A and B are shown apart, each in its own frame.
Chain A
């Protein structure tokens, strides 16, 4: 069984990097109650991939079709900027603007892929293909994840403060909008880089479920992040290892393990309290 898994070890390493990075950022996503911003950004990212395929396939741009991640990154960062600056909350509620973004991005992704040259073959970009991750892809993922995690390590207390109590942070001179923007920017970068490999559902899973597990088990921020990371890595390792020999789709297998871990954490919390 392990021999089969080892055949896909590059994919496993890539999935571990995605799980690790998304689970750290996911703690803020869950605590700030913006889980559907994660979903909307993931959907925007997939729409970006679809847009690049659509434009590239029709020869509208000479190079763009070869770099779907770049277009995806640009579209996702524009979305991250929009939500980071309040998501147009002066005109409509944040929830409504998240819903609109999610629905329109999902529909745009499907329509653009449908009309892209060889559309069906490109569906894989939207749904992700964990098993297709190569060593080079893993290095690219690491190249994105390491700086993002470093930013979060260095500015941990700043992100925590503006997330926990923005009004007080503002009175102490913090440029809250800029910190929010940086937080959303890191979120956008991670989602855009992970999306083409993991797909919307798995990215969304890693942004939410490990953080929920962490919050159920830990009493401190450090503990929450640690448990979130551990549960994401366990979900990847177990889900991946089971999916390959048993010929199961990898992403749903990892999500199922994440769900199981969150349930166990919930039971532990109930017994403890």
Chain B
């Protein structure tokens, strides 16, 4: 498998503030990786280093030549008051390919429609962004990421603030995209229980520590208790793993 992104002893942070030290790991072509950790743990910093928008303080982050990311930002990062339709937003994913000062062609529009079909909402192309539900907005942003024909799909907290049904549908859609096209996926989330049942590998960021491995490697009581700093239980229910903090017994 081709290495797409390699962190080699990378120390990440801002100015003099170190967020994470000495990260060494590789994202390979075809990976389905979940980057999981609580808010403020440094997930966004890892994400920015990976995307190349924030260089490491030391060490290196190497990206394969010609690598393209399809980035899906957190939903609240986007302003839904803009007078844009779903199709307008999806087209933005091709802006860099269209080139400076040029307008999208009929072919670009056709590709944008295909991307909307891939995420299951072609009928909403002409709908105003403001009128879409949370799940539909997220699908629109995923379509925008796909229309640029990326090698890696990167989703930042894709289910944040969503109800159970929308969460399941969005995570199912992402897994479906991965299985159908083999696209490499990196999903950033604070919700370990959600992500663990969809991804193939997990990178856990917590208390300045970083651990990466297969789901089976990470989803075990020893590793998680050590990372979270509290005793946890990992239960399985119909093939789904669930992490629960162990309740303290009163004496």
Interface residues of A (CB under 8 A from B): 31, 154-155, 157-158, 160-161, 164-165, 167-174, 215, 218-221, 223-224
Nearest CB in chain B to that of A158: its residue: B100
Inter-chain contact total with CB atoms closer than 8 Å:
67
**With an 8 A cutoff between CB atoms, is B237 at the interface?**
no
**Residues of chain A lying within 8 A (CB to CB) of residue B98:** 157
Question: In the docked arrangement, what's the CA distance between A68 and B201, Å?
Answer: 64
Known: A157-B95, A220-B85. A172 touches B148 (CB 8 A): yes
Can you pick out 6 interface pairs between chain A and chain B where the beta carbons lie within 8 Å of each other?
A154-B101, A158-B95, A164-B84, A167-B77, A168-B73, A168-B144
Interface residues of B (CB under 8 A from A): 51-53, 69, 71, 73, 77-79, 81-85, 88-89, 92-93, 95-96, 98, 100-101, 103-104, 128, 144, 148, 154
Known: A157-B103, A165-B73. A172 touches B82 (CB 8 A): no
Output the least CB separation between B24 and chain A (Å).
23
Q: Tell me which of A157, A171, A220, A221 contacts B53 (CB under 8 A).
A: A171
Output the least CB separation between B15 and chain A (Å).
10
Question: In the docked arrangement, what's the CA distance between A16 and B71, Å?
Answer: 42
Question: In the docked arrangement, what's the CA distance between A218 and B88, Å?
Answer: 15
Output the least CB separation between A159 and chain B (Å).
11
Q: Do the beta carbons of B92 and A168 come within 8 Å of each other? A: yes
Q: Which 5 pairs from chain A and chain B are nearest by CB?
A: A171-B71, A172-B96, A154-B101, A171-B51, A224-B83
Q: Do the beta carbons of A164 and B78 come within 8 Å of each other? A: yes
Q: Do the beta carbons of A31 and B92 come within 8 Å of each other? A: no
**Residues of chain B lying within 8 A (CB to CB) of residue A31:** 79, 81-82
Q: Do the beta carbons of B92 and A161 come within 8 Å of each other? A: yes
